[in-house]
Structure 1
Amino acid sequence: MAELVNCPNCGKLYVKALRSVCDVCAREVENKFDIVYKFIRRRENRKATLDEVVEGTEVEKDMIVRFIREGRLHVSQFPNLGYPCAKCGKNINDGKLCGDCTDGFSRDLEAGDRQKAYEKRKEDREKAKYQTYSSMNDRLNRNR
């Protein structure tokens, strides 16, 4: 069921159905997409970087990145058109993190898992030591 909400861009009331913005803002986004797409489709602009596209089209960087993330602009066709990694800022074409940052997070997670396993083994050894001591105590008490 559709609901009545304010447009996050312009603040106007609209019925939220398929889009997250009002019709006027949706048309504006589509116009910006057309401007960007026409710009990078020109032979001389196919190898343009994100900053060059922003400068040439005057469309906001965030909007262009959104087009890439939504799959509307295919970076395979435009090799220099990427966006910054969320952690280090390195230029990427897919996801939110570059390969190096992803690998770093994986190593950190593995190190955490190894630390937890070490703590568990240590705890198990302490329990085993206590159980051995308790069973020896019980045998001594029975023999008295």
Structure 2
Amino acid sequence: MNEIINCSRCGELYMENAFRDVCAKCAKSEEEMYETVYRFLRQRENRAATIERVVEVTGVKEELIHKWVKKGRLHAAHFPNLGYPCDRCGAIITKGKICGKCTMDIERDLKQIQREEEFEVEKQRGEGHLTYYAANKRK
């Protein structure tokens, strides 16, 4: 069931739904800003513009541009200098949730944890099986 929540931009109450994360008024405003950004980027000389340049010319907040790239409304293939921050380190990426470096770091950490767990299992298996006897000969 849908809930009534506050808009993250203006604080107004609205009925939460899967299509919007802001109220209808803010969604309309965002759509107008999107059109402004898209019209700017469609011009051939602006296709390689950086996010900073787009923000400077259009006045649209960087977070909104990141949101549109992340949702696929602005394609990185068409606009190569656009992206959004990695969820882990903040580096600019064009697909997924985390960058390649963070992915490798996480995979390395997982492999290390797996090796440690395997070592502990082997250690547990080995305990109790090795018994040493000392032969004391008295003369």
TM-score w.r.t. length of structure 1? 0.79
Alignment correspondent of 2:45: 44
Alignment correspondent of 1:31: 32
Letter in 1 for 2:86: C
SS, match of residue 129 in structure 2: helix
Letter in 1 for 2:117: K
SS, match of residue 127 in structure 2: helix
Deviation, 1:121, is: 0.5
Q: CA RMSD in A?
A: 2.2
Q: Distance in 1 between matches of 2:84 and 2:14?
A: 32
Compared CA separation, residues 114 and 66, structure 1 to 2 (3 A): same
Percent identity of the aligned residues?
46
Q: Distance in 2 between matches of 1:15 and 1:117?
A: 50
- Pick the structure with greater CA Rg: 1
Q: Distance in 1 between matches of 2:53 and 2:59?
A: 10
Unaligned runs of at least 5 residues, structure 1:
134-144
Letter in 2 for 1:40: L
Q: Distance in 2 between matches of 1:59 and 1:20?
A: 18
User: 2:2 touches 2:16 (CA, 8 Å); kept in 1?
Assistant: yes
Q: Which one has the bigger helix percentage? A: 1
User: 1:12 touches 1:22 (CA, 8 Å); kept in 2?
Assistant: yes
Compared CA separation, residues 66 and 114, structure 1 to 2 (3 A): same
Deviation, 1:14, is: 2.7
Q: Runs of 4+ in structure 1 displaced over 6 angstroms?
A: none
Moved more, 84-93 or 28-37: 84-93
Deviation, 1:2, is: 4.2
User: 1:50 touches 1:83 (CA, 8 Å); kept in 2?
Assistant: no
Letter in 2 for 1:32: M
Compared CA separation, residues 15 and 108, structure 1 to 2 (3 A): closer
Q: Distance in 1 between matches of 2:97 and 2:21?
A: 22
The 5 A counterparts of 1:1-144 are 1-17=1-17, 18-129=19-130
Unaligned runs of at least 5 residues, structure 2:
133-139
- Matched positions, count: 132
